[in-house]
Amino acid sequence: MTAMIKVHALQKHFIMHNQGGIRLPVFSDVAFDVSAGEALILHGESGVGKTSLLRILYGNYKPSSGHVLVRHGEDYIDLATATPRAILTVRRKTIRYVSQFLRVIPRVTTLDIVKDPLLARGIDDTMATEKAKDLLSRLNLAERLWHLAPATFSGGEQQRVNIARCFVDPASILLLDEPTASLDAKNRDVVVDLINEARESGAAIIGIFHDEYVRDRVATRRLDLTQFKKAA
Amino acid sequence: MSAQTIDADYNFGYLDEQTKRMIRRALLKAVAIPGYQVPFGSREMPLARGWGTGGIQITAALIGPEDTLKVIDQGADDTTNAVSIRRFFARVAGVKTTEKTNEATLIQTRHRIPEYPLSKGQILVYQVPQPEPLRKVESSEVETRKMHAWSEYGAMHVRLYEDIARYGRVATSYSYPVMVNDRYVMSPTPIPKFDNPKMDHMPALQLFGAGREKRIYAVPPFTKVKSLDFEDYPFEVQKWNEPCALCGARGSYLDEVITDDRGGRMFVCSDSSYCEDRRDAGHTGTQIDWAKDKAYLDPNPDEAA
Amino acid sequence: MSTIKNRLSVDENAPILTATALTRLYGERVGCRDVSFSLWPGEVLGIVGESGSGKSTLLRCLAGQDRPTSGTIALNFDGVPINLFDISEPMRRQLMRTKWGIVHQNPRDGLRMDVSAGGNIGERLMDRGDRHYGKIRSSALDWLSRVEIETNRVDDYPRQFSGGMQQRLQLARVLVPEPKLVFMDEPTGGLDVSVQARLLDLLRVLVRDLGIAAIIVTHDLAVARLLTDRLMVMKDGAVVEEGLTDQVLDDPHHAYTQLLTSAVLAA
């Protein structure tokens, strides 16, 4: 199996300059690989650094030391040292990140948000619209909402828009931070199916799920971050 | 008209020789760079600024005892301004003056170009109130100089664009900007745009003086002068539906004259000398014909009495 | 055989602008100090910092409006490298009208208030030599609708427009010659929040659709997050932190950036 992500000797701490320069350790010596077709579920109590790790894997947080090698095409890019432009390219083509919250852009309609990753990759508008609509229907998002900006949507509706945006064009690496948190059982199952379909077609998945039901249906492997916390 | 006795209390041509040389240098530079505004040290003249002091200074710097001077104001030789300036030069230079375009060697004008084509060797001196064609679109002098220096004339067309957008055509009817020698945009002074085509490749030398603004510029003989326009809105001159009411001329620039307080009006040549010439040659317009019919113009008043 | 990299082919492309060690002093006072960076085609760079941090000075230097005391600005349009302050002023002005544009915070600084909306947009085309009224007019109408101003306002004067409309008109005037590089100084500065949102979205879409490289100076971190790919944080004339926009905002390392990001409500 091809490793899609290789994490090596990863260490992260925050220094709060405006609070007396206090050093907040998150974790250290984190090391793991995730291959295509695997779903790694991050474990550990709140504050153990699950979300921080996921953000580092997306290039959103800078590692304090260590390496995050992401397979991009035929090569590995080290997100710890990559240029901003390289990271943006990797995000556009290789990594998708779904957070718990949708970052709403003023005035942009649901349909436009969902089809944006396809358009950014150069898929033509008709095709992109069709795929976006299919996915929104599958996630049971009422059609009357498609042409509205999601600013006024409920938490569950916004989350489904976020998920649709991710799975409309599943990249080879998916980072999922509680994507099912505010969903009802029916939609939760749809998301579970989407995740498994993506994994079966070769995506490497790293996720955080509090819901044991979802974890059991999605995970191929688990990683408890508590061990790295101690070391930090 | 005949030459007058020169007033010996003044230097010939009123200005002192140093000033004349300064103006002549400015004129030479202006001729060398067609359309470029040359700054000069404008002097006080026995006339308020804004009444043609720029033109008078150029005339004063150029005039010689052999010259024959014609002065027109709005096309007419007999208006106050024209008469005063003509008298002034008769007095300080003792030169001959004339109303006939073809007799003049030097023609000072305000707001018109004579109807008769000018010929080689003649000089036309324009009185200019505002020499800067870009002033309406750019108020900064520093900026307009840069715009001229680097031929940044897009803003000039904005004025024309605005006219077409608002009136469906370029409504600017006088002081219509021209491009001189494919290089400088120039204000032809408030002549009607009707006269613009006459400037193009004119055999006479055209000199422009702005006394208040202290600028001199020139168009040498046989220089290209093109009125600014758009490809799909080409430059056009004014047209009149009727000929001159006095001489019947078609194709001359006509002034509207109100004849009574009941809406009566007629259109007559603005170039009074041209109109007179035509009448002397036997041309008549509707006004003359009508007057003859009514016997208002009696060829022989003695008989009628 | 796969290799480990920290650069991609995108990094090998020629930057459209490279600033090297830019310093602008006003006597003893520092405008900006030793600023170096590159900007690539299609990239949006944000410069944030509070008033007096030197971000506006830097922008003026970059846009050729102010000469840096030392340092160079190299530009590369269509593969022809030039040094901004080595070329003659007319050439610089020519570039300013065709290859780059400036969106001012106050639309009055970027518009001719006594010229109609259509004339304001059309001027840029006439500047570059367009002399067909009909074509200029239809470009003006097209751009009005692209910036969401009703086309029947084409002959109205900017002073008859609201602040948001004036700013959108300025945008149309800047973008109509299809510049490669656009400088924006607090483009949403004087606008109501609701009006800002519309302008921001418009900017985002236009910049993306036209593939323009842009430098946006703002003190509004939400604006920076929405519009920019990369961010430079300035303090006392110097760049204290730079990087990917979301990285700088979400994981700030410099004390000043931490202060800046914690001082605002969820940007």
Residue pLDDT, tens place only, C132-177: 999 999 999 999 999 989 999 999 999 999 988 999 999 999 999 9
Task: Give the largest Cα separation in chain A, rounded.
Answer: 55
Give the closest of A55, A82, A89 to C6, CB-based. Answer: A82
Is residue B305 pLDDT above 50, yes or no? no
Q: Taking CB atoms and an 8 Å limit, are C229 and A84 in contact across chains? A: yes
Cα angle: C156, vertex C157, C162; to 5 degrees: 95
Cβ(B120)–Cβ(B133) below 8 Å = no
Write out chain C residues lying below 8 Å of B233, CB-based. Answer: 133
**Domains observed in chain A:** 1-94+171-232 (3.40.50.300), 100-169 (no CATH)
Give the closest of A60, A76, A105 to C247, CB-based. Answer: A60
Q: Burial letters for B106-140: b for 16+ Cβ neighbours within 10 Å, e otherwise?
A: bbbbbbbbbbeebeeebbbbbbbbebbbbebbbee
Please give the pLDDT value at position A152.
86
Confidence tier at B1 by pLDDT (50, 70, 90): very low
Q: Taking CB atoms and an 8 Å limit, are A60 and C8 in contact across chains? A: no
Please give the pLDDT value at position B296.
58
Q: Does residue A15 sit at the C interface (CB-CB below 8 Å)?
A: yes
Instruction: Give per-residue pLDDT as tens, A122-137.
Output: 889 999 999 999 999 9
Please give the pLDDT value at position C50.
84
Cβ(C170)–Cβ(C180) below 8 Å = no
Instruction: Give per-residue pLDDT as tens, A52-90.
Output: 999 999 999 999 999 999 999 889 999 999 999 999 999
CA distance A166 to C40: 27
Q: Taking CB atoms and an 8 Å limit, are C226 and A16 in contact across chains? A: no
Greater model confidence, A228 or B19: B19
Is residue B304 pLDDT above 50, yes or no? no
Please give the pLDDT value at position C160.
94
**Tally of CB atoms within 10 A around C205:** 15
Report the DSSP beta bridge partners of residue B107. B70, B124
Interval B171-180 mean pLDDT: 92
Interval B271-289 mean pLDDT: 88
CA distance A138 to B227: 67
Percent of chain B with pLDDT over 90: 72
Q: Angle formed by the axes of helices B154-167 and C117-127, to 10°? A: 140
Q: Does residue B262 sit at the C interface (CB-CB below 8 Å)?
A: no
pTM for the full model?
A: 0.84
Instruction: Give per-residue pLDDT as tens, C219-238.
Output: 889 889 988 999 999 999 99
Interface of C with A (CB under 8 A): 2-8, 10-11, 40, 43, 197-198, 200-201, 204, 226, 229-230, 243-244, 246-247, 250-251, 253-255, 258-259, 262
Regarding beta strands B123-127 and B205-210, do their DSSP bridges make them parallel or antiparallel, or are they unpaired? Answer: parallel
Token digits of residue A230: 């101690």
CA distance B169 to B237: 12
CA distance B224 to B18: 33
Q: Burial letters for A160-176: b for 16+ Cβ neighbours within 10 Å, e otherwise?
A: bbbbbbbbbbbbbbbbb
Instruction: Give per-residue pLDDT as tens, C14-39.
Output: 899 999 999 999 998 999 999 999 99
Q: Taking CB atoms and an 8 Å limit, are B230 and C132 in contact across chains? A: yes
Write out chain A residues lying below 8 Å of C5, CB-based. Answer: 75-78, 82, 86
Q: Taking CB atoms and an 8 Å limit, are C243 and A62 in contact across chains? A: yes
Consecutive H or E run containing B217: strand B215-219
Write out chain B residues lying below 8 Å of C129, CB-based. Answer: 154
Confidence tier at A141 by pLDDT (50, 70, 90): very high
Write out chain C residues lying below 8 Å of A107, CB-based. Answer: 197-198, 201
User: What is the DSSP annotation of chain C?
Assistant: ---EES--HHHHSPPSEEEEEEEEEETTEEEEEEEEEEE-TT-EEEEE--TTSSHHHHHHHHTTSS--SEEEEEEEETTEEEETTTS-HHHHHHHHHHTEEEE-SSHHHHS-TTS-HHHHHHHHHHHTT---HHHHHHHHHHHHHHTT--GGGTTS-GGGS-HHHHHHHHHHHHHTT--SEEEEESTTTTS-HHHHHHHHHHHHHHHHHHT-EEEEEES-HHHHHHH-SEEEEEETTEEEEEEEHHHHHHS--SHHHHHHHHTSS--
Cβ(B40)–Cβ(B53) below 8 Å = no
Q: Long-range pairs for A192-199 at CB < 8 Å and ≥24 separation?
A: A192/A217, A192/A218, A194/A138, A194/A163, A194/A167, A195/A39, A198/A167, A198/A170, A198/A174, A199/A37, A199/A38, A199/A39
Q: Taking CB atoms and an 8 Å limit, are C43 and A71 in contact across chains? A: no
Is residue C190 pLDDT above 60, yes or no? yes
Q: Does residue B174 sit at the C interface (CB-CB below 8 Å)?
A: no
Please give the pLDDT value at position C1.
53
Instruction: Give per-residue pLDDT as tens, C35-93.
Output: 999 999 889 999 998 888 899 899 999 988 899 999 999 999 877 889 998 999 888 88
Please give the pLDDT value at position C83.
92
Greater model confidence, C211 or C21: C21
Nearest-CA residue of chain C relative to B153? C127
Greater model confidence, C242 or B298: C242
Region of residue B191 (left: phi > 0; alpha: psi -120 to 50; beta: else) = beta
Nearest-CA residue of chain A relative to C6? A82
Regarding beta strands C17-26 and C70-77, do their DSSP bridges make them parallel or antiparallel, or are they unpaired? Answer: antiparallel
CA distance B109 to B127: 6
Confidence tier at B302 by pLDDT (50, 70, 90): low
Consecutive H or E run containing A176: strand A173-177
| Subunits in contact with chain A (3 or more CB pairs closer than 8 Å) | C
Please name the amino acid found at residue C95: L
Q: Taking CB atoms and an 8 Å limit, are C7 and A105 in contact across chains? A: no
Nearest-CA residue of chain C relative to A82? C6
Is residue C193 pLDDT above 80, yes or no? no
Nearest-CA residue of chain B relative to C125? B154
Instruction: Give per-residue pLDDT as tens, B9-33.
Output: 899 999 999 999 999 999 999 999 9
Give the closest of C3, C11, C247 to A85, CB-based. Answer: C11
Residue B183 three-state SS:
coil
Is residue C188 pLDDT above 60, yes or no? yes
Write out chain B residues lying below 8 Å of C119, CB-based. Answer: 158, 161-162, 165
Consecutive H or E run containing A27: strand A22-35
Quick one: which of C242, C204, C207, C209 has its CA closest to C226? Answer: C204
Enumerate the active-site residues of B: 35, 244, 247, 269, 275
- C123/chain B closest Cα distance in angstroms: 6
In angstroms, the first-to-last Cα distance of chain B is 34
Task: Kindly report the average pLDDT of chain A as a whole number.
Answer: 91
Quick one: which of A137, A124, A135, A203 has its CA closest to A163? Answer: A135
Please give the pLDDT value at position B83.
93
